[in-house]
Amino acid sequence: MIGILAGAVVLLGFIGLGILLTSRVDSAVPVIVLAVGGVYAGWLVGVIVYGAIRGGGTDGQEAPER
């Protein structure tokens, strides 16, 4: 849940920056470009946060060799 929340915050940040830039250049292109980039960045941050919270799952032990 925290990973999803972190990803959503990043996505909203990118969209907010696009809206700010749109007011300066009078075009909708910055919102579209930053929204697409925000989706990717939000997904990436969500995966990183999820992996950091969940951990490696091996408790510091190596997998046995076969």
DSSP, collapsed to helix, strand or coil, labels residue 60 as coil
- The pLDDT tens digits of the residues spanning 15-57 come to 888 888 888 888 888 888 888 988 998 889 989 888 888 876 6
Q: Which two tokens stand for residue 53?
A: 């919270």
In one letter, which amino acid is 3?
G
Output the pLDDT for position 54.
Answer: 82
Quote the distance between the C-alpha of residue 15 and its chain's center. 12
DSSP, collapsed to helix, strand or coil, labels residue 64 as coil
Q: Which residue has the tokens 């300066």?
A: 24
In one letter, which amino acid is 33?
V
What residues does each domain of the chain span?
2-52
pLDDT at 2 over 70: yes
Q: Which two tokens stand for residue 20?
A: 């700010």
Output the pLDDT for position 56.
Answer: 64
pLDDT at 9 over 70: yes
